[in-house]
Amino acid sequence: MVVEPKILNNICTTAHPLGCAKEVENQINYVKSKPKVKSNVKNALILGASGGYGLASRIAVAYGLGAKTISVSFEKGATERRTATPGWYNNEAFSACAKKDAVQDKNLILDAFLNASKEEVIKEAKSYFNGEKIDLVIYSLAAPVRTDESTGTLYRSALKPIGKKYNGIGVDFITEELLEVSIDPANEDDINSTIKVMGGEDWQLWTDALLNADMLSENAVNIAYSYIGPEITKAIYREGTIGKAKDHLESTAHALDKKMQEKIKGHAYVSVNKAVVTRSSAVIPTVPLYIGILFKVMQNKGIHEGCIEQMYRLVSEKLYNGGAVPVDNENRIRLDDWEMRDDVQKEVLDAWNKLTKDNLKELADLKLFRKDYMNMHGFEEEGIDYSQDVQI
């Protein structure tokens, strides 16, 4: 079929297989252009590896560190009436490139929240890694719902402020129009459900399962991703329901780090990453507008990064730099260091305070935001004829 983007409320419901493959190749080529990183990592497990930071992590680890990788993701294949999810095509594209480049990989399509999936992954890892243990675990799940197996309760995450109604501005990044945003405050169920889905509980369950199965090597590293952000997005993000979940994730990291040090002399970290375009960030009110301005400022300063640049910097400059892992006073790795520089945030805030419908395109790079978003779904890639039929 001829595959076109179908977007409603900043959500794209289609994906182009050739475009997704091209985007994966672009990220692989970026890492290939960089120096190999020396590390002790031979085997890595990436939970949530089919898109965004998870996919970029897998590419950085496989091509930058030369490690064998197992990817766990919950994606859907195509039907006669609709395309597969972008992550499905990304997994296929990564495996095709890996085969060509003699890079060892394995994809598992599983719901990572389920206990049975944890058991299946451990079983597969024992076989695939030939009895060797896992040196690096990356937890990058970004699912909107989770079922508690012990009670059967379905928990759904919420994008809401806490304490009072949020009134602010946002943007339709397709039409490039400013929008007024108003969101009612969360109740206790919203907060608890978001923590249940996006907090650290499942990361801890994975860590316990791997430790109990004796699957983590001595000095293994276990890492999850978080975000803090600026004052502009604080009410809807860090001080909202998602922020509560991230607080829980970061507090979980302290407990896991202590446990891993005691059992295997390993470490658990949270990496606070830069704001980038993901399927999640595109639907958080205010965030796309902030990112558009941020991109403009960081490009002008020559320090703009996407997911793959961030993840290569994570492995090369933070985790495996030949010395101690640099952390802040909360034991977090700060990959948002360039974003949160005083000069960057001052310029972003100045632009934010000047925003009108007339100067929006001058102050925010929404074209780059849109391109990143479309590329993520396999669209607007150079060299692809989107008028042609493709096998989905």
Catalytic residues: 237
Name the residue type at position 131: G
Dist. CA 191–CA 156, nearest whole Å: 10
Full 3-state SS string of 21-75: HHHHHHHHHHHHCCCCCCCCCCEEEEECCCCHHHHHHHHHHHHHCCCEEEEEECC
The residue assigned the tokens 């006073």 is: 329
Cα atoms found within 13 Å of the Cα of residue 273, Cβ hemisphere only:
26
Dist. CA 282–CA 376, nearest whole Å: 11
Instruction: Name 221's bridge partners.
Output: 136, 267
The residue assigned the tokens 């493709």 is: 390
Which CA distances in Å does 359 have to 121, 314, 315, 352?
A: 51, 35, 39, 11
Q: Which strand (E) or helix (H) includes residue 300?
A: helix 287-300
